[in-house]
Amino acid sequence: MARKPSKSGSSGSFISRRNIVRGLIGLFSVLLLIFIINSPLLKIGYVKVTGNSYLPREDVLEIARIKEPLNIFSVQTDVVQNYLQSDLRIDTAKVWRDFPNCLNIEITERLPVAVMNCNYGYINLDKNSVVIDVYTDVKKIQKPVITGVILQDVYIGDNINNDTVKKVLVYLGLLSNDVLGQVRQINIADKEHIELYTVKGTRIILGNLNDAEKLAGKTQEIFNDMNSTAIPLEYIDLSYSRPVLKIKQ
C-alpha cells in the first residue's frame, strides 16, 4: 500500500521561511533605528533657552554640557536638567523636546544684587548672602559694588556671615530692577553711617539699615522723585524719619 506524503518537510520549510522573515524584519528595524538616530532631520537646529537674564546663553549650554548640533534622541533631558540645577547660579530648570528638531531649556536664575572685592578678585552675591560667581575681570561687574570691606577666602557657594553685608543685600534685594540699575556703590566702612552713591553721583545716606524694608520703600520713592525732577542734589539723608535733601550750589 502506498504511503501518504510526509508533512514534516513542508512544515520545516515553513518554519525556516518564517524565521528568515522575522530575522529580516528585525534587521530592517535595527537599520531603520540606526538611520533615524543618525538622520540629519533629527539634528537639533536650535536649543531654545528662556528665563536667563544674567547668564549668557552660551554659559547655560556649557552648564548643560550641550554642544550644537546634536541628535534629539541622544539628549537625556533629566540628566541635562540635573546638570543645570546643580549650578549655584540656577535655582530651577526644565528641559523638554519639541519634535522634530528643538530642545527647550527654561531656567530660573539666582540673580546677583551686589558685587564685593575679595582677596583674589570679585564676587557676585544674591539677596540671601550667597556667593554665586567669582571672577577677576572688572569689566564683568554689572551690579552695585559694596565697598569698605574686603572679604577673604570666599568661594562659590559660601554664605557671607558679615551682619552689615547681610543687611545691605536684603535692602538691595527689595529694590526694583530699575532702581537697582541706578545704584553704583554702597559704602559700609561705618556700619552706622552707610552711604549709597548713584550712577549720577548723588550721595544717599542710609544710616544703619536696621529696618531694610522701610528704607527700601523710601529709596524707591526718592528715586522716582529724582527721575521726575532736574534739580541737582548734593545728598539725600534717609536716616531721619523724613528725608533731608541738600541741593547743589
**pLDDT tens-digit readout, 157-215:** 999 999 999 999 999 999 999 999 999 999 999 999 999 999 988 999 999 999 999 99
Mean pLDDT of 45-71: 89
pLDDT band at 37 (very low <50, low <70, confident <90, very high): low
**pLDDT tens-digit readout, 113-172:** 999 999 999 999 999 999 999 999 999 999 999 999 999 999 999 999 999 999 999 999
What is the pLDDT, as a whole number, of residue 23?
75
What is the pLDDT, as a whole number, of residue 167?
96
The model carries a pTM of 0.71
What is the pLDDT, as a whole number, of residue 242?
86
Question: Which string of DSSP letters, residue by residue, matches 187-240?
Answer: E-SSTTSEEEEETT--EEEEET-SSHHHHHHHHHHHHHHHHT----EEEEE-SS
